[in-house]
Amino acid sequence: MHHSRSPAKATTSFSSCTIVFLLQGVKLRLPDSTSHQTLSNLLSPYHTKTHLQQNIFFDTPSLTLATTHRAALRLRFYDIDSQDILLLKAKPVISDGMCRIEEEEEPLDPSLTWACVAETWRTPNF
């Protein structure tokens, strides 16, 4: 199954011109480790850097976000706090084998992000 999120938009303005960048993500479901290794070997000449990523998910004890709203809220840490993001995914739609998911991202100050994990009451202040 392929997974594609709905285009995430980033805008940049130059004088009177605004440029919108669109992002598409794809996830492949590979049948086994041999298929994974074959794909890794095929893509390895194009690999330039490995980014470390950590995700911490939030939900209610009864998993209301996931079960009732089909949503996920998480803090994402890139390369040991070089960039932190609060990310909300919601409203998945599957059509023709593709899953499209709305995403909202909000960059966070890395110095505050781990405090939000330790003291979750801080999260609503964003």
pLDDT in tens, 16-64: 555 555 556 677 888 999 999 999 999 999 999 888 888 888 888 999 9
What integer pLDDT is reported at residue 2 of this predicted model?
34
Domain span holding position 19:
2-44+51-125
Rg (CA), the chain: 18
The domain tally of the chain equals: 1
CATH label of the domain that carries residue 67 = 2.40.320.10
Question: Does the pTM of the predicted model rise above 0.85?
Answer: no
In this structure, the chain runs to a length of 126
What integer pLDDT is reported at residue 1 of this predicted model?
35
Residue with token string 């994990």? 117
pLDDT tens by residue, 52-111? 888 888 888 999 999 998 999 988 888 877 888 888 998 888 887 777 888 888 888 887
What integer pLDDT is reported at residue 8 of this predicted model?
45
What integer pLDDT is reported at residue 16 of this predicted model?
55
| Helix segments in 63-109, DSSP class H | 64-67
Question: Band of the pLDDT at 7, cuts 50, 70, 90?
Answer: very low
What integer pLDDT is reported at residue 126 of this predicted model?
47
Determine whether 100 is exposed, middle or buried from the number of CB atoms within 10 Å of its CB (0-12, 13-18, 19+): middle
